[in-house]
Amino acid sequence: MKKTRVLRLKSKHFLTFSLEEGLFRQLHTRSILEAEREKLQRILANVKQENGQLNREITRSKTYNTKADDEKQRRKEKQNILLDLEELNAKILVIDIDVKRQKRMVEDRHLAKREEAKTFELSRINEKLKIDINIAESKIKEL
């Protein structure tokens, strides 16, 4: 929202439009974050599934095969998967925090009142500036 628009337009329709625009931006950001979170959760589920399969393969190989090289390779793969899992958990945590913050902003009941107060304050400042300009212009004319 540009300050010049707020200062020039005083209609309630513009105020409603600016609030709707703000809510749209907040909801849009929230939906993007939720989509990213769902995508990361799907990846996390796949990683967990692969991890479980690798654990089963390791236990089978321990009972039937004693090849140390295969076991070492599987352990490395498992460690890499666990590192990826930790990274994904950290990303999901950050996204969850952002989503909760966005939800709090959207669900704020006093948002409209605060926006109206800001608009009123800006219009009051605008009127004061107009009066100061008129006074200054009249002083210039007198000189």
Q: Which helix (H) or strand (E) holds 50?
A: helix 12-64
Distance CA 10, CA 4 (A): 11
The pTM score is 0.32
Locus of tokens 């930790």: 86
The per-residue pLDDT for 19 is 66
Task: Walk along the chain (143 residues) and give the pLDDT tens digit of each residue.
Answer: 443 334 344 444 444 456 677 666 777 777 788 888 899 999 999 999 999 898 888 888 777 766 777 788 889 999 999 999 999 999 999 999 999 888 877 777 777 788 889 999 999 999 999 999 999 998 888 87
The per-residue pLDDT for 66 is 63
CA neighbours closer than 13 Å in the CB half-sphere of residue 54: 19
The per-residue pLDDT for 72 is 86
Q: Are 64 and 140 a contacting pair, CB within 8 Å?
A: no
CB-based burial label for 93 (10 Å; 0-12, 13-18, 19+): exposed
- In Å, what is the CA distance from 119 to each residue of 71, 124, 125? 68, 9, 10
